[in-house]
Structure formats: structure tokens, C-alpha cells
Structure 1
Amino acid sequence: MILADQEKNVYLRLIKYAAPYKWIIGLSMVASLGVSGCDAVIAYLVKPFVDELIVAGNLGMAKLIPFLVIALASIKGFSRYVQAYNIRTAGQLAIQDIRNEVFGHSINLSMRFFSKNSSASLMSKILNDVNVMQAALADVLVTLLRESVTMLALTGYAFYADWKMALMAFIAVPAAVLPAAAVGKKIKIFSRRGQAAMGDVTGVLEQSFSGIKVIKAFATEPQEEQKFIRSNANFFTLIRKTFRYSAATAPIMEIMTSFGVALVLWYGLGRVAAEEITKGELFSILAAILLMYSPLKRLTKVNNTIQKAIGAAERVFQVLDTQADIVDAPNAIALPRSQGYVSFENVGFAYDDDLVLRDFSVTAKPGEVVALVGPSGAGKSTFIGLLNRFYDPQHGQILIDGYDIRTLTQKSLHANLALVDQETFLFNDSLMNNIRYGQLDADFSAVEAAARQAYADEFISQLPDGYETMVGDRGVRLSGGQRQRICIARAILRDAPILLLDEATSALDTESEAMVQQALGNLMTNRTTFVIAHRLSTIMYADRILVLDEGAVVESGSHNELLQQGGLYKRLYDTQFEDHSL
């Protein structure tokens, strides 16, 4: 089983995860000696069994055989148990470390990575691909240890008993191993494609369950079912090819090794006829060779498993080898509690090639409310992403209290920012834990005070479990207005001096919006606030309104000043309120 250098490196990298558990693996290796030793003893005992018992009729030996069989079976069984239990434990511990590392690494990657990789693909790698790798670190190690030692012991005995016949048996080994290795390479290719297809299956599942309300509302269950069936069928088509090649391995080994056995029989029977060896010696050597082929066949199957594991490991290691775009500078400093000065100076930014923001400049003073409006795609949400340092600009700089945010630690930067997003994401946890998500050490009184300021305490107190109520996946058990007020309570408890509101009321009805606006008023007190909104009625109170178009500030001023200018803001305003009057 010859692996290419790249494959060797992948597998050796995989094996390194088992290194911390070398003592458990060592115990398993010791136990494997018991398994292999019993097989070698069985091959050795064939000679006296045939010569003394069958040929000579030694009945005294016959009385010992049942006890010998039980003793060997007991030793081999106990050794196999100790070996399998310990090696699988070590394999599972290593896989646990890999899964933890992959998740920990991926969650710390930059937003650009997540914009280019679907969550379903990442889930598939962390769950499905790592499960495939588990076989390599558990079952493969079990088989490699046991069968390799067994094969060495039996080979050693075969050469000790009669090196000529043993050498004849080995002629078939290369002829069997080479095609098996070629089959293994095919298995790796289709296994990797199959794992990618499983990522697509996971994607359909994730989207279907996340979007179940939309599916139910539009009665598209049959459509989604067919989408899943097609995705599942594609996975089956690829995985069936791995079955086809896996199934070919055993017949290849059977056919090729039969030539070795036939050659040994032909030569051995001739030597028995010439009385050069006894019948017992022939059968003893033949037993050793047959027993030696069995672990060889299992080792060939192990190669198939290794190839599957390498295909999965390559996908997983792609994630681990991806470096974050946004990292702390080597000499990054911790930003103390900000006074609230924020400045964008000639910022230029593009996600790919086309600039989303161009020569963008804006300054906000402590406690000032700055609103950003404009058509879709004007760069409003990009502004929020850049201030959070989800991305770095290609040109210009962003300053907080005079510090370029690229010189600050990300932890201290985000400690000074509170984001209330239009998505109103809540975790499938209690209301208490969702509110204090950004301030985990907050006590109940602080959580309750924040909820009161966010006008959430009233509806929370009416729930049977109060603050311990589980909100469901993405907060599905709450209304849109309730979810938004929980998010606002979370931001209030965060107590950051700079507040970012990204379409915080875009999906609310009039009654909910009025209550949320009151909550936002409490949140914005004494904070530098940036507000993004399509509804111009929600930002009339802003100290300054910036009108963006094609990534640049085209107008700036108060609500009344902008209406008097009669530019883009006036057109947006007239369009909205004409629609509203209709």
C-alpha cells in the first residue's frame, strides 16, 4: 500500500493527533502481541497435531487439545478486547480534539471566509468528514496494529519452518497489493466527492429547517422534498462508486493469493512424497501461510479506509490551514472605554473588484446620532462591517478616539461597540442567557434592568418560566417585536459607548416599532450612535443624516436641511410618504 507523499503527509498529520494518547495506544500494542502470538502458536501446533495425533494416533495428546483450545481462545479474546477498547478510546479522544480544533479555528476566521463558505459545508466538514476520519484513528489503528504484528509473527514462523516455501508464498503479495493500491486511490477520489455531496445534503437540510415558515407559507413542501431527493441521490451515486471499488478489493486478493497457496502446495506435496518433510510440517507451514494471508487481506481493506480518511482529512485540513484575514497586529493595544469619537478618513473598500465605498469620510462626536440612508447597495451595511472590523479597508483609515482600529486588539474594539442588527438573531437558549450573551457575568438584577429599559420585562414576566423561558431556534417562539427588544436589552446590558443600529425596526409593525423606538431611545442615551434605516420616519431625530449613493456621501445635514436641498434625500422621502399616503 504505497501512498503518495502528499497522502503520507496528510495521514501523518492525522496520526499526530493520537500522540497525546500514546500510553493508551502502547497498552493496545502490548495486547496485540497476545493476539498475534496465539495465531503463531496455532500455526506451530498444527505440526504435532498432524504428526502425533492424526498420523501416529497419540491419544494422550488428544486429551490435552480441548484445554489448549480454550486457553488459546481465552488469551486471544482477552487480548483482542484490551487492544480494541484502548485503541478506539485513543482514536475517539483524538477525534474529539480534531473536532474541537476545527470548530475553534473556524469560528475565529474572518467574515470574508464565511461569506465564501456556506454554513452547511462547514457543518458537514466538522461532523461528517471528521466522522470518516474517526475510522482512520480508531478502527484503522486497531487493524494496523493487530494485523501487522500477526502477519510479522506468522511470516517469521513460516520462514523459520521452511524459507523456500515461505518465499514462494510471498511471490503473490506484490501482485495482489499493487492493484489493491490502485483501487484505494479510486476510493479516495470518490470518497472526497461523496463527502462534498454530503455537504450539499446538509445544506438542503439546514435551509429547509431554517426556512420552514416560508416553506409552509408557500406550500412548497413537495418542491423541497424533491430538492432533498435529488441531493441525496447525487450523494448515493458517488458513494456507490466507492462501494464498487471496495467490493473489488477482496476478490482481487483472493485470486492473487490463491496462486501463492497453489505454488506452496505443489512444491510441498512433492517434498512430502520425497520424504524430505513430514505431513505435519507441510500443514503447519501451509497453516502459517493461510493465516498470514488473512491479515494481509484485512490490511488491504484498511488501505481503502485510509484513502477515505485522507479524502475527508484534506477537506478538514483546508479549514485548519485557512488563515484569518483580520488579526491583531503584533503590537496591538487595548482600547480603554471609548469617549465616542469615530472617524472614517478617505476609506475605500471592495469585497471583490468593484468599490463599495469610495473616498468615504465621516466624523462623529461623543453622544452624536448619525444616520446613514440611501438606495440598496449604497454601502450602508458595509460601513457597519468596517467599523466592527469584520473587514479592513483597502484605502484610508478608521479611527476611534484617534486610534486606527487596526492597531487595537479586536477584543477591546468590540467591547466598545454594541450592534443591534436587522436579523435579530437569538440563540436556542433561555431569555436570561440571550440578554446577557455579551456580558456573561451579569446578575439577574442587571438583566432585569436592561429588559425593563428595552420594554421587554412586561412580556417576559407574563411567560410561564419568565427569564428562564427557552426561545427556540433563532427565537422562533417570540414575535418579531419581542425578539428585537431582547436584542436591544442585550445591547443595553453590553453598555458599550458606541452603538450601531442596522435596520433595527425594518421588519416590525407600527405598534411594535413604536415600542422598539422607545427602547432604542433609552439605549442611545449618552452613546455615539450610527443608525441605518430605510424608513426615513425613524431617523428624522438624528443630529446628522448622511445620504449615500454608489459608495460615496452625496448629501449631509439634518432632516429639514436635506429636504430643503431637494436632492436624493428629498426624492427618497417623497417616494416613501407618497406610498404611505396611498
Structure 2
Amino acid sequence: MSAVNEKAKDAFQRLLAYSRPYWWRIAVAALGSLGVGAMDGALAYLVEPVLRKIFSGKETGIFVLLPIGIIVLYALRGVCRYTNDFFIRSAGQLAVQDVRNDLYQKNMGLSLGYFFHNETGILMSRVISDVAIMQEGVASVITGLFRDGISAVSLLCVIFYRDWKLALISFVVIPLTVIPAQKIGKRIKGLARHGQEKMGDLASILQETYSGIKVVKAFGLETREVERFRRSNEEFYYFIRKNIKYEGLSAPIMEFIISFGVAAVIWVGGSSVMQGTRSASEFFSFITAMVLVFTPVKRLIASYNNLQRSVGAAERVFEVMDEEPEIVDLPGSGDLGRAKGEVEFRDVHFKYDDEYVLQGVNLMARRGEVIALVGPSGGGKTTLVSLITRFYDPTSGSVLLDGVDIRQRTVKSLLEQIALVDQETILFNDTIANNIRYGKIDATDAEVEAAARAAFAHEFILELPEGYETNIGDRGVRLSGGQRQRLCIARAILKNAPILILDEATSALDTESEQMVQQALNNLMHNRTTFVIAHRLSTITHADRIVVLEKGTVAEMGSHQALLENDGLYSRLHGMQFKA
């Protein structure tokens, strides 16, 4: 239990730390809170002398000015309240904006393996939904501490000044509210955390179905997906319903406990008025202050519930921010500069969890060589090239670039040496020019066009409504598969890196497009070390060496002709494809 409390305390402290840069906003809000609290205290304090003068002294002039005084008092109170609300909420928004920026930056810095082990929807939920709950908590807590806290303190001062004995009677029950408040607050925190997890599940379903809507429609599975979403939504409602129940119980329980104090005050104070030991105006002033003070007290309790919900969300956010990336720059890592392009795998083993994907791979790619990787699915081809980019590090063994272990170089400088064209055409909801510029952010329009021409994409780009400034939609949905692939190739051409990785780079192309792009790829591969993953063996007959991977080991290696004559696995795969 203590570990849980420490975790919550740490999350809360870190949450408040994000508010420190905006201390001046909080200070202005505090002044506004001071004004609100002072007005509440002044109102309660002035009730007794005003009533005494009106009804005892028969001073009608004060009676005439009283309505005007009340209007002015509440106008000033309104200005102070607005000042408090505006500056405290804007400070909270800025603080949580920083949290969201840091969280996204942290996500971008985590290793690829992290994203394979966590659903996209859940990660999205933490950045959007959890941070929004944190924002509500920051604003609520700071508002509660200043405005409601100051109001409560000023009114308490009036109460104790008027009659400390009655004050003690009225507030002897306050400590009794702490126990249910804590229990309800902890329950709300746990439910908020589980509720956010279910919100993450909902986001995952949305992300999957929207991105895969073509498959859903093609197989007529709309009803199945709707039912899956309905079940997940019902589970989310289950936690929210409980959260509503406990939040709804909070105020009635507090009011019921407080009512004992109010009843005792009325009984004791009313009796003293009837006995003549206390004036009616004094008692009415005390009752006014007591009733007023319970409002900020109740709001403070509500703020505590919001705090618990916020801390639950903050714990989920800070879990991600505390995640350590698997791939980091080692101490003393240096920049590569422009690499020559010699890549060596030296006794490389790699495993996912407990299953080995690569075992004892030894391979040398000299500068300018084209190395083709072929073999059955699951043989480790994509994993092997992923080690070059340090998406993963070998379990044992090493990958060397120009004779130096790539772990002795910074990840940033390593990735500058590599251009990747993946089998999955990843494009962004942006213009064609900006998608190509992913290869070189500061590229000129002329460089972008040259890369597009080399990828045989220039002609179809000019046919689009706005040419290079045409927005291609989410994941390039407005383009054909071949067009998307050619843009990815143009992006790689623009990067002009010494090492090129082509993972099924022509798999999405029709015959005509493949012929055009293959010519562009042949030009691109000239004088570059190239790793080509291919299932269609007809596309890699020109490779300097073909490496056949089977179950994570190198089964064969050699030229196309030599492997055919060897009558091994490559020859059998080749025969099956051409027979088909």
C-alpha cells in the first residue's frame, strides 16, 4: 500500500512541477482568489453590524445603500473570480500542453520494439485522453487550493471571531468527513485508471477498423466490428458508472455529516438568543458565515476527488515517460560522417522474447554490392536488415559499418547513412512534395522534382489537381498502390544515402510500373551498398550475391547462376515460381 501511495505522491509532485514555469499566472490567480475569499469574509462579517444598525438604530440611510453595496460587492467579487478562473485555467492548459509535448517526444524516442508491444489506440489514449484528465485535475486542484481555500479560511476567521464556542461545535464534525473522503477518493482513482485503460481499448478498435475499413467492407464484417465496439464501450461504461456512483455519494455523505454540526449550532445558538445571552444579529451573522463556509469546503472535497482521478491518469502518463528506450547511444559514441558502405554481420544471433529469429549469421557486404535476401517467410530477412538501422540490437554478435560496431556510433548519424523503401508504403496526410522531402527536409523544389523524375513519378504528379502541392490524404489513400510506392522510392532517392534497404520495394507495382521503377532502382543502387528483400526471384537475378535464409540461418549464398546449379533451396524456390 505504501508503494502505491508513494507512486501517487510522485505523480502528483511531477504534475505540479509542470505548473512552475507559469508561476506568475498562478500568482495573479491567487490574488483573484484572495479577492473572492476576502469578499466572502467581508459579506459574512458585515451582516451583524449592518443588521444591528438597521433594526436597532433605525438608520434608514444604510438600508437604502445596502442593495447598492451588495451589487458593488458582487461586481468586485465577479471580477476577482474571473481573474482567478482565467489565469488558473490558462496556467493549467499551458502546463498540460507541456506534458503532452513531452509525452509525444518521449514516444518518438522509444525503440521500435515498444510500439510492437503496445497497441496504437492505447498509446493515443494516453496522449489525448489521459492528459485531458490531468488538465482537469491541475485546474481543479490549484483553483481549490487558492480560491476555495482562501474563502474557507477567511470565513473561518469570521466564525471564530464572532463566537469561538459555536465555531468549535459546528466544526467538530469536519474531521469525520476525512475518512469517507479518502476512501471515496482512492476508489475514484482506481476506477479512473481502469476506465482510461478501457478508453484505450476503444481507441484501438477505432484505429484498427478505420485504417482497415476496406477489409471490413470487403468481408462484410461491419456487424462483427460494431458488436466488438459495443462490448468494449459497455465495459467502459461499467467503470464510468461506478465512478459516477462514488462521485455522487461524496457530496450527500459530507452534507449529512456536516448537518450534525449545523443542527448543534442552531440548537445551542438559538437557545442562547431566546435566553437573551446572544443578540439575533450576532447569531444571524454567524449562521451566514457558517453556511457560506460549507460551500468552499464541499468544493475542496470535490477538488480532492478530481485530484484522485487526475493522479490515476498521471500515473499512466508518467509510466510512458519513465520508459527507457532499448536502443540508446552508448557513452562515447561518435558521429559517422559519410560512410563508405561496407556492412558486416559477425556471428549475429537475435531473439524476440525467448524465440531465436537469427542464429549465427555471418555476412559481408562490400561497398557498392547488391545483396539479395530470399527464403521462406519467417526466415529472418526483415529482422536482419532491421539490425542495420538499429531498430533492434543483436542478442549476441555484432553489426559493423566500415569495420566499426554500429553501437559505437550515434543512432542519428547511423540513420543518416541509410535509405529505406519498405514493403508497406507509409505516406502522410500532407502534400506530395512534403512526403518526398521526408528524405531531406531542407530539399529545394528542384531537388524534389529531380527525385520524382528518377522514380518515374513526375508525370503522374503533374496530372494531379495541384501537382506537387496536392494533398494525398491519410496514408496516401488518394493514390494507387504503384503511385504510392514510387513516391516512397523518390523519398529514398532524395536522401542519397550510401546504404539502401529495399524490402519488397516493387511488390505493389503492376508490370508497367515495375519496369519503370526497376530502371530507377538500378540507377539508384549504382555505387551504393544495397540490401534487397524479395519474394519474386525474377527481380534479384542481377544481385552480386543472393543470401538464402531459412529458420534464421544462412542456408546458401552465391550468385543467381551458381545457386541454380547448386540445386538447393534457392533452386527449388526458383523452380516453383517459374513453374507456377
TM range (shorter): over 0.9
Unaligned stretches of 5+ in structure 2?
Answer: none
Counterpart position of 2:379: 378
Counterpart position of 1:356: 357
Q: Give the deviation of 1:49 after TM superposition.
A: 3.6
Structure 1: distance between partners of 2:84 and 2:196: 30
Counterpart position of 1:500: 501
Structure 1: distance between partners of 2:567 and 2:413: 42
What is the TM-score with the length of structure 2 in the denominator?
0.97
- Superposition pairs for residues 310-459 of structure 1, below 5 Å? 310-459=311-460
* 7-16 or 57-66, which deviates more: 57-66
CA contact (8 A) 1:485 1:519 kept: no
Counterpart position of 2:511: 510
Q: Give the deviation of 1:55 after TM superposition.
A: 5.2
Structure 2: distance between partners of 1:164 and 1:89: 42
Q: Give the deviation of 1:537 after TM superposition.
A: 1.0
The letter of the residue matching 2:293 is: M
Structure 2: distance between partners of 1:222 and 1:188: 35
CA contact (8 A) 1:359 1:552 kept: yes
CA contact (8 A) 2:22 2:91 kept: yes
The letter of the residue matching 2:272 is: R
Structure 1: distance between partners of 2:559 and 2:9: 66
Structure 1: distance between partners of 2:242 and 2:423: 45
Counterpart position of 1:113: 114
Structure 1: distance between partners of 2:7 and 2:153: 27
CA contact (8 A) 1:340 1:365 kept: yes
* 334-343 or 45-54, which deviates more: 45-54
Structure 2: distance between partners of 1:83 and 1:515: 65
Counterpart position of 2:74: 73
Q: Give the deviation of 1:57 after TM superposition.
A: 4.2
- Superposition pairs for residues 166-205 of structure 1, below 5 Å? 166-205=167-206
Structure 2: distance between partners of 1:248 and 1:277: 37
The letter of the residue matching 1:410 is: V
The letter of the residue matching 1:108 is: G
CA contact (8 A) 2:140 2:307 kept: no
Deviation per CA, 1:456-489: give whole Å up to 9, x if none.
Answer: 1111111121111111111111111111111111
Structure 2: distance between partners of 1:9 and 1:563: 64
Structure 1: distance between partners of 2:333 and 2:488: 30
Counterpart position of 2:307: 306
Structure 1: distance between partners of 2:555 and 2:7: 54
Counterpart position of 2:159: 158
CA contact (8 A) 2:340 2:498 kept: yes
Secondary structure of the residue aligned to 1:555 is strand
CA contact (8 A) 1:25 1:90 kept: yes
Structure 1: distance between partners of 2:264 and 2:59: 31
Counterpart position of 2:86: 85
CA contact (8 A) 2:347 2:362 kept: yes
CA contact (8 A) 1:418 1:500 kept: yes
Counterpart position of 1:208: 209
CA contact (8 A) 1:51 1:278 kept: no
Asked if 1:527 is matched to 2:528, the reply is yes
Counterpart position of 1:543: 544
The letter of the residue matching 2:277 is: E
Structure 2: distance between partners of 1:513 and 1:81: 65
Structure 2: distance between partners of 1:462 and 1:69: 72
Deviation per CA, 1:200-259: give whole Å up to 9, x if none.
Answer: 111111111111221222232222222222222211111111001000011111111110
Structure 2: distance between partners of 1:242 and 1:154: 32
CA contact (8 A) 1:438 1:494 kept: yes
Q: Give the deviation of 1:313 after TM superposition.
A: 0.4
Structure 2: distance between partners of 1:62 and 1:399: 92
After the TM superposition, which segments of 4 or more aligned residues of structure 1 sit over 6 Å from their partners?
A: none
Deviation per CA, 1:79-127: give whole Å up to 9, x if none.
Answer: 0011100011101110110000000011111111111111111110000
Structure 2: distance between partners of 1:354 and 1:55: 92
Secondary structure of the residue aligned to 1:436 is helix
Structure 2: distance between partners of 1:69 and 1:112: 65
Structure 2: distance between partners of 1:258 and 1:422: 70
Secondary structure of the residue aligned to 1:496 is coil
The letter of the residue matching 1:195 is: Q
The count of residues paired between Structure 1 and Structure 2 equals 578
Counterpart position of 2:224: 223
Counterpart position of 1:573: 574
CA contact (8 A) 1:454 1:522 kept: no
Structure 1: distance between partners of 2:422 and 2:364: 22
The letter of the residue matching 2:251 is: A
Q: Give the deviation of 1:574 after TM superposition.
A: 1.6
Structure 1: distance between partners of 2:502 and 2:24: 54
Deviation per CA, 1:497-529: give whole Å up to 9, x if none.
Answer: 100011112233323322222221122111110
Q: Give the deviation of 1:543 after TM superposition.
A: 0.7
Structure 1: distance between partners of 2:236 and 2:82: 35
Structure 2: distance between partners of 1:222 and 1:500: 41
Counterpart position of 1:232: 233
Structure 2: distance between partners of 1:228 and 1:564: 55
Structure 1: distance between partners of 2:268 and 2:57: 24
The letter of the residue matching 1:378 is: G
CA contact (8 A) 1:481 1:516 kept: no
Q: Give the deviation of 1:56 after TM superposition.
A: 5.2
CA contact (8 A) 1:499 1:529 kept: yes
Q: Give the deviation of 1:327 after TM superposition.
A: 0.8
Counterpart position of 1:64: 65
Structure 2: distance between partners of 1:438 and 1:566: 41
- Superposition pairs for residues 547-558 of structure 1, below 5 Å? 547-558=548-559
CA contact (8 A) 1:140 1:305 kept: yes
Structure 2: distance between partners of 1:557 and 1:12: 61
Structure 1: distance between partners of 2:62 and 2:416: 82
CA contact (8 A) 1:17 1:97 kept: yes
Q: Give the deviation of 1:282 after TM superposition.
A: 1.1
Counterpart position of 1:24: 25
Judging changes above 3 Å, is the alpha-carbon distance between structure 1 residues 4 and 168 closer, same or farther for their aligned structure 2 residues?
farther
Q: Give the deviation of 1:375 after TM superposition.
A: 0.9
Deviation per CA, 1:9-35: give whole Å up to 9, x if none.
Answer: 211110110000001100110111110
CA contact (8 A) 2:138 2:307 kept: no
Structure 2: distance between partners of 1:55 and 1:215: 82
Asked if 1:287 is matched to 2:291, the reply is no
CA contact (8 A) 1:544 1:557 kept: yes
Deviation per CA, 1:110-152: give whole Å up to 9, x if none.
Answer: 1111111111111100000000001112233223311000001
Secondary structure of the residue aligned to 1:64 is helix
The letter of the residue matching 1:511 is: E
Q: Give the deviation of 1:326 after TM superposition.
A: 0.7
